[in-house]
Amino acid sequence: MKRNHNGSLALFGFVVVVVVLWGLILPRVAQWRAVREREDRFSKAGIHPAAIYYSDHPSMKEIEGRVSRKWNR
């Protein structure tokens, strides 16, 4: 019986891509000035960058109002 190694090779390739992105590219992107400034701005606003929902943030009512006004023009 002949074994097909395409699936194993694809999985290995995927793991390599994830390791390169996570271990090499993303740490370098995190050092960019624009990324650091955005992170600082979120931190000062009390926004946790890993949070999923921001609807409980104190400034959300004002943001929703701005979005609503722009859509209802």
Tens-place pLDDT, residues 15-67: 999 999 999 999 999 999 999 998 898 888 877 777 766 667 777 888 888 88
Are 57 and 47 spatial neighbours (Cβ–Cβ below 8 Å)? yes
Q: Is the dihedral of CA 46, 52, 58, 63 positive or negative?
A: positive
pTM strictly above 0.95: no
Are 45 and 59 spatial neighbours (Cβ–Cβ below 8 Å)? yes
Share of the chain above pLDDT 70, in %: 84
For 10-45, the DSSP string reads HHHHHHHHHHHIIIIIHHHHTTSHHHHHHHHHHHHT
Q: What are phi and psi of 52, to 5 degrees?
A: -95, -40
